[in-house]
Amino acid sequence: MLSVVVPLAAALFLVFDDVSHHQSVRREATRIERAANQTKPLLNAQSGLSADMRAAAVVSSVSGLGLDLSGIVAALGLDLSTELGPARAILDEALIEISAAEREYWADPAAVDAFVTASEDRTRYHDLIDDMVLTTADLDRMRVELQTPLATATQAQISSLGVLALDVPRAGLLDDLAANAAAADAYLTAIHSQSASLVAYLVGFGLEDPAEAFAASYQASEVAWQRLAAGLDTTTLQRFEALRAEPDWVEFDALSEAIIAGELSSGPLEPTIRSIELGVTVSSFAADMTDQVIAQLGEEAALVSTEAAAQERRALVIGFVIAVVTLGSVGGAVTMIVRPLRHLEARAHQISAGDLEPTITARPLLREAAVIDEAMDDMVRSLSVIERQAEALSAGRLDASSLQESAPGRLGESLRQSVDQLSELTSRLDHQARHDILTGLPNRAAAMEAIDAALARRRSRGGQLGLLFVDLDEFKRINDDHGHAAGDAVLVETAARLVAQSRGRDVVARLGGDEFIALIDDVDDIDDAVEAAGRMARAMAEPMSVGGASITSTVSVGVALSDSSVITGEQLLHRADLAVYQAKALGRSRVEVFDDDLGEADDERRLLEHELREALAGAGLELWYQPIVDLPNHRVWGFEALLRWRTEDGGLRMPDQFIPLAEQSNLIVAVDDWVLSSAYETLGAWQADVETKDLHLAVNISSRNLTGGQLATGIRDGAPAGLDLSRLGLELTETGLLDDVDAAAATVHELQQLGIGVAIDDFGTGHSSVARLRGVPVNRLKVDRSYIAATEDASDRSILSTLASLAAALELEAVAEGVETAAQARLLASFGYTHAQGYHYARPMPLAEVGPWLAANDRADSRAG
């Protein structure tokens, strides 16, 4: 390709170089032509001036003779206006042309300016002529003033031509003239002065010796001619000689010789028209001669110009052809290489920008480019596959059809591997997200979906759905007694047994903890569901062997049946939940069916919960105070704060009516907070009074607050500064304390650090063993009032006694509650109980009654006896 383009480009360059040379030649020739044309006005000015002078001479000679001018003029047959008019017109025109000419062509523009300025004075002479008062002196001055600048201008012009001629080597004539510029100028000037002398001689301007002056100018012009002729080459000389052979010139020559020979007298004596006209001929000869030369020059220049133009055209044509060929070649190159490269570049950009949409363009013709282009097609196809796959992957659509396509290369391979791994991981995660790890059963989320789906199915196909809520009884005890591993094993076995008792469509799921559900699809009535529940409960009642031990765990089952009022799975589950709650409340290990009463109870609970919230927010709660006395001296040790709820109608709700509910709904946290801050207030007031400053105040705290880890810090930060916390006591239920022994022990320890005494409330109703009690180092045991009430029975009395001994052995205070009689009080004191509380001393009372009660019951117990 380059082998074609480079020579063509070189040729093109040479052609253009040639063209520019021809162009410059032509430009110079044009300049000469123009210069020559501008010379003509100057020469015209000369001849105009001569005519002017002739007229002036006529006028002058006539007036010099003192003749009547108009008569003479008429006699001579002259019409002055016609005589002077054209002359003036020629002169005027020439001057205008000269001044308008581009003076840049003149070697000495200053000389031209001088001539133009001098010529402008001619109007003065015109005026004189018009007035016919032109004197000889005027004419003389005019001659001097005009002739000198004219000669200078002429010479300047010829020099200019010579200078110009140097620029145009082809113009041989110009060369010649330029070489002889000075001689030519001298000759022309000489002729000019000869013609002026002739006129002067003929009209007899006051010259002292006109003949001699004329002879001098005649010889000077001859000498100038000889000198010029010697320098000119033959061609130019022939041209000049041709001019000198013209009849006018010959006559002028003859006239001149006649004057010199004295055959023609000077002055006004013989002013023949003819002689005057001859003078004019002479003066115009110089002009003619120059004119001829200029014309020649012009022709020559035109010739040069034409030739240059022709050459230029030829060069241009060649250049054009070369250019066309070159451009064609370059164009070919563009088509063959650049365009395919552009195409490939654009595609590469497109691909790197991630645009894999195929752009439909023609395949490049260049073979290599076409190969690359096809490779790019493959690449784009592969990338699109990979892109689609990546898209599917990031969208998690592992089943997308694009993932079945095979993408090439290592990227494709690793993508395929990722897909496989991801599919596996996803299905595993999916399974995990929907299944319980321990038992492998569907989890709560999956169970809810299954219930909803089954509900939808029953709704469209008819039939009912039974939902069993299965809750292990006392699972906590299994965990505590046999360890968590055993607990897990029990859960796994439970799952297996429930599944074993289920049928095809049924779904067994674990909701969490020890709660399971069994979805019994398509039952005819509640009996079917209850029957299934019974089957499962019986299967569960069989002992299971776990780690060598035999464990029996019963279940409570709540049964709910889908009916028209059940809209969502959550609703159905809630009903089964209420039923199992009822089963637990009724003593566990039984099947309970949801009914409207349960639903109503539930509704009531919800209402109660709502009201409790409002009571908490408002001023609906109060603390009542029941005294606790020391045994055996019956002095007032302090009080237990007991919660009361004052309803809007003024009634009083007892804690049993709302504390269990509060514990179910988490409201208990807010309730306990409220109780504590009220207790601080009361204790603070007591501690401010010397009479009451040593009183203790025992507060009941829900076991829900015990294991949260916040109880001690909550009291430390919440209690007012300066409050003596050693007078504060907390009563915690046994079951709460033993739920999580370690957490409870930590909390109890923290509380004791604050000086707070901790009591186990309702002691004897839970399942605490002595061993575990040791793990939670409380301050006192508050024996449940059921034991105190049973003092009639001898064996119960011994239990009461044993509990006091136990407390003593553990170095704990023993508190008896529910003491209603003096006999009970005496008995308890005899068993070693350290404190007593009950109606025997006082019923719980509002805060306002505490002061009066204390005042009425001196420290010495009046009832003790």
Residues of this chain that interact with ligand C2E (CB under 6 A) are 626, 641-643, 654-656, 659, 672, 675, 700-702, 731, 761-762, 785, 817-820, 837-839, 844
Query: Shortest gap between Cβ of 663 and ligand C2E (angstroms)?
Result: 8
Query: Shortest gap between Cβ of 803 and Ca ion (angstroms)?
Result: 13
641 within 8 A of 675, measured Cβ to Cβ: yes
Nearer to ligand C2E, 267 or 655 (CB): 655
Query: Shortest gap between Cβ of 533 and ligand C2E (angstroms)?
Result: 33
Nearer to Ca ion, 83 or 731 (CB): 731
Residue 137 neighbours by CB distance under 10 Å: 10
Question: Using CB distances below 5 to 8 A depending on partner kind, what does residue 844 bind out of Ca ion, ligand C2E, none?
Answer: ligand C2E
Question: Using CB distances below 5 to 8 A depending on partner kind, what does residue 437 bind out of ligand C2E, Ca ion, none?
Answer: none
Query: Shortest gap between Cβ of 672 and ligand C2E (angstroms)?
Result: 6
Question: Using CB distances below 5 to 8 A depending on partner kind, what does residue 820 bind out of ligand C2E, Ca ion, none?
Answer: ligand C2E
Q: Strand 549-551 and strand 757-763: pairing?
A: unpaired
Q: Does 672 bind Ca ion (CB under 5 A)?
A: no
- Whole-Å CA distances, 842 to 701, 731, 853, 857: 22, 19, 9, 10
Query: Shortest gap between Cβ of 656 and ligand C2E (angstroms)?
Result: 5
Question: Using CB distances below 5 to 8 A depending on partner kind, what does residue 522 bind out of ligand C2E, Ca ion, none?
Answer: none
Question: Using CB distances below 5 to 8 A depending on partner kind, what does residue 818 bind out of Ca ion, ligand C2E, none?
Answer: ligand C2E
Which of 734, 762, 813, 861 forms a contact with Ca ion (CB under 5 A)? 762
90 within 8 A of 47, measured Cβ to Cβ: yes
Nearer to Ca ion, 672 or 762 (CB): 762
Query: Shortest gap between Cβ of 557 and ligand C2E (angstroms)?
Result: 29
Measured in degrees and rounded to the nearest 5, phi and psi for residue 26 equal: -65, -40
Query: Shortest gap between Cβ of 598 and ligand C2E (angstroms)?
Result: 24
Query: Shortest gap between Cβ of 493 and ligand C2E (angstroms)?
Result: 36
Query: Shortest gap between Cβ of 844 and ligand C2E (angstroms)?
Result: 5
Question: Using CB distances below 5 to 8 A depending on partner kind, what does residue 436 bind out of Ca ion, ligand C2E, none?
Answer: none
- Whole-Å CA distances, 64 to 49, 196, 483, 684, 814: 21, 19, 167, 159, 178
* Torsion of the alpha carbons at 40, 41, 43 and 44, rounded to the nearest 10: 120
Q: How many residues does the chain have?
A: 865
491 within 8 A of 438, measured Cβ to Cβ: yes
563: exposed, middle or buried (Cβ count in 10 Å: 0-12, 13-18, 19+): exposed
Give 799's Cβ-side CA count (13 Å radius): 17
Nearer to ligand C2E, 596 or 792 (CB): 792
Q: Does 707 bind Ca ion (CB under 5 A)?
A: no
Query: Shortest gap between Cβ of 789 and ligand C2E (angstroms)?
Result: 7
Question: Using CB distances below 5 to 8 A depending on partner kind, what does residue 217 bind out of ligand C2E, Ca ion, none?
Answer: none
Nearer to Ca ion, 214 or 763 (CB): 763
Query: Shortest gap between Cβ of 804 and ligand C2E (angstroms)?
Result: 18
Subset of 719-748 contacting Ca ion (CB under 5 A): 731
Question: Using CB distances below 5 to 8 A depending on partner kind, what does residue 638 bind out of Ca ion, ligand C2E, none?
Answer: none
Residue 103 neighbours by CB distance under 10 Å: 15
Question: Using CB distances below 5 to 8 A depending on partner kind, what does residue 495 bind out of ligand C2E, Ca ion, none?
Answer: none
Question: Using CB distances below 5 to 8 A depending on partner kind, what does residue 382 bind out of Ca ion, ligand C2E, none?
Answer: none
Question: Using CB distances below 5 to 8 A depending on partner kind, what does residue 502 bind out of ligand C2E, Ca ion, none?
Answer: none
Of 58-66, 214-222, 407-415, 700-708, which segment contacts Ca ion by CB under 5 A? Answer: 700-708
Nearer to Ca ion, 280 or 642 (CB): 642
Q: What is the DSSP string of 720-768?
A: PTT--GGGEEEEEEHHHHHHTHHHHHHHHHHHHHTT-EEEEEEETSS--
Nearer to ligand C2E, 156 or 679 (CB): 679
554 within 8 A of 587, measured Cβ to Cβ: no
Angle at 504 between CA 503 and CA 506, to 5 degrees: 65
Of 144-152, 329-337, 342-350, 757-765, which segment contacts Ca ion by CB under 5 A? Answer: 757-765
3-state SS, residue 256? helix
Question: Using CB distances below 5 to 8 A depending on partner kind, what does residue 371 bind out of ligand C2E, Ca ion, none?
Answer: none
Question: Using CB distances below 5 to 8 A depending on partner kind, what does residue 168 bind out of ligand C2E, Ca ion, none?
Answer: none
Query: Shortest gap between Cβ of 808 and Ca ion (angstroms)?
Result: 20
Of 78-86, 145-153, 576-584, 699-707, which segment contacts Ca ion by CB under 5 A? Answer: 699-707
Nearer to ligand C2E, 115 or 625 (CB): 625
Nearer to ligand C2E, 470 or 759 (CB): 759
Nearer to ligand C2E, 641 or 748 (CB): 641
Long-range contacts of 204-210, Cβ-Cβ distance < 8 Å, separation of 24 or more: 204/61, 204/64, 204/266, 204/267, 204/268, 204/269, 204/271, 205/57, 205/60, 205/136, 205/139, 205/140, 205/143, 206/136, 206/140, 210/266, 210/267
Measured in degrees and rounded to the nearest 5, phi and psi for residue 37 equal: -60, -35
Nearer to ligand C2E, 320 or 839 (CB): 839
Distance CA 315, CA 310 (A): 8
**Residue 121 in tokens:** 């004075």
Of 227-235, 537-545, 753-761, 823-831, which segment contacts Ca ion by CB under 5 A? Answer: 753-761
Nearer to ligand C2E, 495 or 628 (CB): 628
3-state SS, residue 623? strand
Q: Does 761 bind Ca ion (CB under 5 A)?
A: yes
Helices (H) then strands (E): counts for the chain: 31, 17
Query: Shortest gap between Cβ of 675 and ligand C2E (angstroms)?
Result: 4
Which of 221, 439, 494, 700 forms a contact with Ca ion (CB under 5 A)? 700
Nearer to ligand C2E, 415 or 659 (CB): 659
Angle at 360 between CA 357 and CA 365, to 5 degrees: 130
Angle at 673 between CA 667 and CA 676, to 5 degrees: 140
Query: Shortest gap between Cβ of 422 and ligand C2E (angstroms)?
Result: 52
Nearer to ligand C2E, 16 or 674 (CB): 674
Distance CA 760, CA 751 (A): 14
Query: Shortest gap between Cβ of 818 and Ca ion (angstroms)?
Result: 8
* Phi-psi category of residue 768: left, alpha or beta, with phi > 0 → left and psi -120 to 50 → alpha: beta
Whether the link from the prior residue into 632 is cis, omega within 30° of 0, is yes
Query: Shortest gap between Cβ of 704 and ligand C2E (angstroms)?
Result: 9
Give residue for tokens 């005890």: 477
Q: Strand 636-646 and strand 696-701: pairing?
A: parallel
* Phi-psi category of residue 357: left, alpha or beta, with phi > 0 → left and psi -120 to 50 → alpha: beta
Instruction: Give strand ranges (E) for 784-864.
Output: 813-816, 835-837, 845-846
Question: Using CB distances below 5 to 8 A depending on partner kind, what does residue 675 bind out of Ca ion, ligand C2E, none?
Answer: ligand C2E
Question: Using CB distances below 5 to 8 A depending on partner kind, what does residue 654 bind out of ligand C2E, Ca ion, none?
Answer: ligand C2E
Q: Give the distance, in angstroms, between the CA of residue 217 and the centroid of all CA atoms in the same chain.
A: 98
707 within 8 A of 747, measured Cβ to Cβ: yes
Query: Shortest gap between Cβ of 730 and ligand C2E (angstroms)?
Result: 10
Nearer to ligand C2E, 643 or 827 (CB): 643
3-state SS, residue 437? coil
Residues that bind Ca ion (CB under 5 A): 700, 731, 761-762
